[in-house]
Structure 1
Amino acid sequence: MASPLTIYSLVDFNQKSLLISALSIAFNPLFWNIVARQEYHNKVLTRIFGGRSQAACYALAITIFSLGLFRDYLYERALRHQPSHPLLETDAATYAGYALLAAGNVLVISSTYRLGITGTFLGDYFGILMDSIVTGFPFSVTDAPMYHGSTMSFLGTALVYGKPAGVLISIWVLTVYTIALTYENPFTAEIYAKRDRERAAGKESKKAR
């Protein structure tokens, strides 16, 4: 294990931009989970948009996407303020970085294509449910392609910039997303389980008539 002195020589923790980047990474999933659950329980956004749940979902999608762009800007700004390392400034590291960026974007873009805007941006919390679970690529590779693809992009950017701090932040990204999934997956599963129970009850009611 590297000594604290070695770690501090690789990452400049005195740079406020590093802390700001880390906080923005943690803020985004916290924000959309809080807002989406408020929507599910209290229909806050739908009421703001005059009962139009799809318009409310699109507004949240634009907000989440914009926050993501701002988060990426803060991350790249933080990397520019960090020391580089010779091992990460090799051609091999750069090529690996671009490969991770390409693969990460493939996961993110293909999952968005599969799910659509409402499926990607928490439409199920608005009552906009998909007919069935998507199991094709990229969901055949990972159950969370958006999160894993984003993490790969963070790490790829770190390698392209040659910054050890970026590798550290990428670990933080993975940690934050893993925690988020422990809250999101069960909640989303229950939304669909409730829908299935209601469908089953409806069929039983029709048979009883």
Structure 2
Amino acid sequence: MAVTADSYAPTERTVPTRARERAAYDKELVHAILDEGYLCHLGFVRDGAPVVLPTLYARIGERLYVHGSTGSRPLRAAGQAGPGLPVCVTVTHVDGLVLARSAMHHSLNYRSVVVHGTARPLTDQSEKARVLDALVDHVVPGRAADVRPANAKELAATAVLVLDLHEVSAKVRDGGPNDDPEDLSLPHWSGVLPVATSYGAPVPADDLDVSVPVPGYLTAYARR
């Protein structure tokens, strides 16, 4: 494929070995998938063994910021690894359960992003404060301006990894089941069961003053 300013360059690690037609490198698509979610899985190698951890993230431009504690394993490893920690970050949205007439052809409709690269700890305290606000707002837009900011002690206890969006790919599957022609006459239901994430009514804390109203950004909450 032609690499442009609007796409990421495919690499050996970002070209899938199966279903290559579902891979995409368009930046707009990658950004949309990343911006819709807030939970990623961070993979790295520790003491020769693979480790995968779920954690919060946010994208700002062409960088991905991953939240953690200063005592967490990937944050400690990144700080000890010279230029940084080799990682793989994944984000996935499931859009449907694809039910075929045969067990073999059952599948999922999904949108996913995989990012490879070297993560490094964010050490500038003012930038860290800005990024942590962005993380809060990525999960709940408008929330950072409606809470007490982190103080110096809290900032010192919180760590952020930064990963450049350079070696990146998206993969998307949509549509119905791919039944074999010889199975089309079988008397089994075939189709897609859509999957969607929903959010309920906000539940106040037990010790919340009843005079504090529910913020509008919660009553109207929806992911992009």
More helix by share: 1
TM (norm. structure 1) is 0.22
More strand by share: 2
TM (norm. structure 2) is 0.21
